[in-house]
Amino acid sequence: MAKNSSRAVGRHFLHIPGPTPLPDRVLRAMDTPIIDHRGPEFAKLTKKCLEGIKTIFKTTNPVIIYTATGTGAWEGALVNTLSPGDKVLMVETGQFATLWKKMAEKIGLRPEFIATDWRQGADPKAIEARLREDKNKEIKAVCILHNETSTGALTPVAEIRKAIDAAKHPALFMVDTVSSLAAMDYRHDEWGVDVTVGGAQKGLMLPPGMSFNAVSDKALAANKTAKLPKSFFAWDEMLTMNKVGFFPYTPGTQMLIAGIITMIALRLSLPRAAKAYGAALHQLRWAIVTVMGVLALAFVMNASGQTITLGTWMAAAGGAFALISPILGWLGVAVTGSDTSSNSLFGALQVTAANQAGLSPVLMAAGNSSGGVLGKMISPQNLAIAAAAVGLHGKEGDIFRRVVIWSVVFLVFMCALSALQASDVLSWMVPHA
């Protein structure tokens, strides 16, 4: 390779929550000629995919496959089961829960949002209490995220089902599994879920552009009386065409072919799966210990009041605290390698300092997360994982020297932006409660 080449050394490795890197066998499966989506070969492929995907959701009921990202499957779940003006109960576990709520508002529903601090999953007791209050049964659906991508907050789906049953409420139960499907244990039928929303680009390790609605008999019955407008996402037309191996529109043919490979890959034997998990745990052992240690420290600091004390002390910086807010997140992730750990360690501190200094808590929390993203590229854990993934063992130092300058440059820019957003110059960019 020429010395003046701008091409990165080693293999490209995407290191974000999703989309995930694609395995070679998936890439090779897609590297085939396009087939006729109205021909007999495609019909066989479709039927195989539709049956295979059921095993991933652990359901015997239909699974609708959309040529869309998870956002499309969100819409499909709502418009096929609800009517204009229906009330839905949602839980604010993070950014994606908030986006689903905004979608519900846009399509004519009335979402009720149970607020949280974005550091925990949905609380079954809170949901049960609200459903018991709903004497007139106005709430038509309960919508939660199994795993909230933006925060890592995990919700106990089976416990939410028990809470709905305990309240003796007829609401539909909808669960987003975009970032948990095939990565965490999930059981659509056993846990009594009515509509499961899934996506291809994370646990399934497929390209973005394919999403799913796994549906129960109760959801199919609700579909017959649902009055929200629908066309592309309509279940009835999709299910009718699926029976003969086709779709109402042109589907993602290569995505389905790649999906077959993924389904085969997911059916690993127990010994092979155990060996793979063991190897992964060994590779990440120190990262796991570090993150657990930081989370434990954050718990102690928050419970003992140390975080509030430090936040009050740092508030003495006044408006200048907005300038240093991203640095805290940057340091937290640079040391731990984890946004979750950094937010647990410094999130409450940032909010306390913001309240004491008269700054926006939303801006300071965002500054912590944004600074943390910039710290990822120099985190020892992430450098080790990246080096191992692209076959550059022992070259972590070389990678660090190439990226640390950029990390600092972007951090300086982020600090300046935070300070301007805390001032009258760019304050219009910050949302106000």
Q: Is residue 106 part of a domain?
A: yes
CA-to-CA distance for 89 and 110, rounded, in angstroms? 9
Contact, 362 vs 322, CB < 8 A?
A: no
The region of weakest confidence among 84-88, 336-340, 355-359 is 336-340
Domain identity same for 385 and 344: yes
DSSP 3-state of 195: strand
Domain identity same for 307 and 220: no
CA-to-CA distance for 320 and 305, rounded, in angstroms? 24
Domain identity same for 61 and 187: yes
Q: Is residue 28 part of a domain?
A: yes
Q: Is residue 322 part of a domain?
A: yes
The stretch 413-430 carries a mean pLDDT of: 87
- Lay out the sheet containing 87-91: strands in order across: 63-66, 211-215, 195-199, 172-176, 139-145, 87-91, 110-114
The identity of residue 390, as a single letter, is V
CB count in 10 Å sphere of residue 266: 15
Domain identity same for 213 and 126: yes
Give 92 or 258, the one with higher predicted confidence: 92
Predicted confidence (pLDDT) per residue in 120-133, tens digit: 899 999 999 999 99
The region of weakest confidence among 164-178, 190-204, 279-293, 355-369 is 279-293
Q: What is the CATH number of the domain that holds 95?
A: 3.40.640.10
Q: Is residue 330 part of a domain?
A: yes
Predicted confidence (pLDDT) per residue in 59-87, tens digit: 999 999 999 999 999 999 999 999 999 99
Domain identity same for 223 and 304: no
Predicted confidence (pLDDT) per residue in 364-391, tens digit: 888 888 888 888 888 776 777 677 666 6
Confidence of residue 399 (pLDDT cuts 50, 70, 90): confident
Domain identity same for 262 and 394: no
The identity of residue 327, as a single letter, is I
Q: Is residue 131 part of a domain?
A: yes
DSSP 3-state of 214: strand
Domain identity same for 336 and 242: no
Domain identity same for 296 and 157: no
Provide the domain count of the chain.
2
Domain identity same for 241 and 378: no
Domain identity same for 259 and 281: no
Q: For strand 211-215 and strand 63-66, is the pairing parallel, antiparallel, or unpaired?
A: antiparallel
C-alpha to C-alpha distances, 305 to 80, 344, 412, nearest whole angstrom: 48, 14, 31
The identity of residue 318, as a single letter, is G
Select, from the ranges 93-102, 343-352, 367-376, 378-387, the one with the highest average predicted confidence (pLDDT): 93-102
User: What's the confidence (pLDDT) of residue 33?
Assistant: 83
Q: How many residues are given for the chain?
A: 433
Last residue of a domain, one of 207, 239, 266: 266
Domain identity same for 48 and 68: yes
Last residue of a domain, one of 243, 266, 289: 266
Last residue of a domain, one of 244, 266, 288: 266
Contact, 185 vs 154, CB < 8 A?
A: no
- Residue 148's nearest CA partner among 127, 116, 121, 183 is 121
Q: Is residue 14 part of a domain?
A: no
Confidence of residue 259 (pLDDT cuts 50, 70, 90): low
Could you tell me the residue range of the domain that residue 213 belongs to?
A: 24-266
Residue by residue, DSSP assigns 32-91 as S----TTSHHHHHHHHHHHHHHHHHHT-SS-EEEESS-HHHHHHHHHHTT--TT-EEEEE
CB count in 10 Å sphere of residue 316: 11
Domain identity same for 151 and 188: yes
